[in-house]
Amino acid sequence: MSIVDYHLTHFIASAPSLHHLPADTGIEIAFLGRSNAGKSSALNACTNQKNLARTSKMPGCTQLINLFQISKGFRLVDLPGYGYSNAPVVIKKKRNTILRDYLKNRQSLKGLLILMDIRHPLKELDQKIIILAIKYNIPILILLTKADKLNYRNCIIQLNTVRQVTKIFSSIIKVQIFSAKKTIGIDTLHQQLDNWYHKALTIR
């Protein structure tokens, strides 16, 4: 059980770019993934709130950096989704710039949650994000979302496949099956968030 009360998480700000974010202090953990990977649902499940983050049947709705405060100096960040093919080119370029700038320059970023549909993991853009995070030495937890869409056997097959592909970076990348609908993987998610939070506190 987590020692942090994630249910107290609340929205604090939206920003169109890195320059509009609050002061770069404290600890941030970011949610990132393809536009249909279930980021908002995962954030809501993580905080045990139904409407903290906006969910939509239309992918690509998150165009801003949205920040949520768990406790003083400890924040969750919902980054714009990537990979939505119907988005205008200018929007895609803007999102790519936001993601690159945030991962490269945000000093308070201490962990990255990369969400992937368990049925279609490790797409090209997912791999590019992983490579970018490794370049900037950002620890990663890959959440294989929508695990309720597959039976247990196939979930384990997908989990082992992704772990095998990423095993060379096992010191920085962890992988977990996840379902917001069935609350699968919530405890592991909380444990990882707790670990990143306390590690960041101890090395200050």
3-class SS string, 102-121: HHHHCCCEEEEEEEEECCCC
Q: How many structural domains compose the chain?
A: 1
Whether 182 is in a domain gets the answer yes
pTM for the predicted model, two decimal places: 0.93
Are the beta carbons of 162 and 121 closer than 8 angstroms?
A: yes
Q: Which of 144, 108, 102 lies closest to 126 in space, CA to CA? A: 144
- Helices (H) then strands (E): counts for the chain: 5, 7
Is there a contact between 136 and 170 (Cβ–Cβ < 8 Å)?
no
86 within some domain: yes
Domain that holds residue 151: 6-202
CA 178 to CA 90: how far, in whole Å?
Answer: 32
Which residue reads 């969400």 in tokens? 115
Phi-psi region of 86 (alpha: psi -120 to 50; beta: other; left: phi over 0): alpha
Q: Specify if 112 maps to a domain.
A: yes
Note whether residue 77 is domain-resident: yes
The pLDDT assigned to 53 comes to 85
Identity (one letter) of the amino acid at 159?
A: L
Residue at 89 is within a domain? yes
* Residue 24 forms part of a structural domain: yes
Query: What's the pLDDT at 89?
Result: 75
Give the residue carrying structure tokens 């370049």.
135
Q: What does the pLDDT profile of the chain (204 residues) look like in tens digits?
A: 667 899 999 999 999 889 999 999 999 999 999 988 999 999 999 999 988 987 544 455 557 899 999 999 999 999 998 876 666 777 778 888 899 999 999 999 999 999 999 999 999 999 999 999 999 999 999 999 999 999 999 999 999 999 999 999 999 999 999 999 999 999 999 999 999 999 888 876
Looking at residue 63, which CATH number applies to its domain?
3.40.50.300
Q: Flag whether 1 is in a domain.
A: no
Is position 21 within any domain?
yes
